[in-house]
Structure 1
Amino acid sequence: MNNVVLIGRLTKDPELRYIPGSGTAIARFGLAVDKGLSKDKKQEFESKNQPTADFINIAVWGKSAENCANYLVKGRLVGIQGRISTNSYEKDGVKRYTTEVVASNVEFLEWGEKSNNQSNDYNNGGNEDPYYFGGFGTGNDDIPF
């Protein structure tokens, strides 16, 4: 069984590419997933300059990849369901290994305009959306599904 479920924040904007020949879309981005440390342990890690989150590479294919590229930005909270994929390649005579999560489902847990301003109005208390309900838009026509 190979099943992964993650909730975290994007560490960078999704990078969208298309596979030559087939035209299949693929988006890649990093996800920071909190380690769930206690307050004391988190302070201890921070004082030693140790990460308090795991940083995981995510790959999304097809229409979901295009939606991610169009609607997600760095810092946005998402839920990911997928599988772990490992690979290897050789570069300059050195064998390198990669690990990423191939997402089969991406849930947008925060909404907002994709702009140069990375702040999310929902988190800053400045929400004017009449359909806003606890982090989810319930009637916004701009939702891609």
Structure 2
Amino acid sequence: MLNRVILIGRLTRDPELRYTPSGVAVTQFTLAVDRPFTAQGGEREADFIPIVTWRQLAETCANYLRKGRLTAVEGRIQVRNYENNEGKRVYVTEVIADNVRFLESNRDNNGGAAPREESPFGGGSGGGNRGNSSGYSRNNQDPFSDEGKPIDISDDDLPF
């Protein structure tokens, strides 16, 4: 049996961080995911899928995610039910995320006005470029950008 889901969409609002009575962090947010087709009027429809994260991932999502940010979520679908105040049984379907990737940096979403946040997940373009106008950090420079010129490496640096 397999219960696995991968979604890419935009947050409809800022995540809500709460703590259980035992102190475990839980964050809830909704992801708007476009459908792969357009409606009769030519408009694109979307599904609004509730996402739940727990523990350290919940705190990280609450700190870094904001409304409108493009985000990838990987997890499993869970259906739970409870009895509401009127005595009716209510069913809730949600995705319990175990992996969240930030696909946009803060700069991408605000037109370059704010400094880029460091993403703790390293997903997408969320980290590593702070303060470097070339688009690459020192650690991420293309080692083959010298257009075929020999690379100066001493024999002591070679692993073999």
Equivalent residues of 2:69, 2:109 under 8 A apart: no
**CA RMSD, Structure 1 to Structure 2 (Å):** 2.3
**Cα deviations by residue, 1:29-52 (Å, 9 ceiling, x for unpaired):** 000001021xxx346263xxxx70
Matched residues in 1 for 2:91 and 2:36: separation? 27
Larger Rg: 2
User: When the two structures are superposed, what TM-score results if normalisation uses the length of structure 2?
Assistant: 0.68
1:10 maps to 2:6: no
Q: Kindly indicate whether structure 1 or structure 2 has the higher relative contact order, using CA contacts under 8 Å at least 6 residues apart.
A: 1
Cα distance, 1:124 vs. partner? 6.0
SS in structure 1 opposite 2:41? helix
**Cα deviations by residue, 1:75-107 (Å, 9 ceiling, x for unpaired):** 001000000000111111111100000000000
User: Equivalent residue for 1:33?
Assistant: 33
User: When the two structures are superposed, what TM-score results if normalisation uses the length of structure 1?
Assistant: 0.74
Q: 1:43 to 1:74 in 2, by over 3 A?
A: farther
Moved beyond 6 Å, runs of 4+: 127-130
Q: 1:128 to 1:74 in 2, by over 3 A?
A: closer
Q: 1:16 to 1:125 in 2, by over 3 A?
A: closer
Q: How does 1:49-88 map to 2 (within 5 A)?
A: 52-88=45-81
Q: Would you say how many aligned residue pairs link Structure 1 and Structure 2? A: 121
Q: 1:96 to 1:45 in 2, by over 3 A?
A: farther
Matched residues in 2 for 1:71 and 1:123: separation? 13
**Which 5+ residue runs of structure 1 have no aligned equivalent?**
113-120
Matched residues in 2 for 1:128 and 1:82: separation? 31
User: Equivalent residue for 1:126?
Assistant: 112
**Which 5+ residue runs of structure 2 have no aligned equivalent?**
117-123, 131-160
Cα distance, 1:122 vs. partner? 1.5
SS in structure 2 opposite 1:2? coil
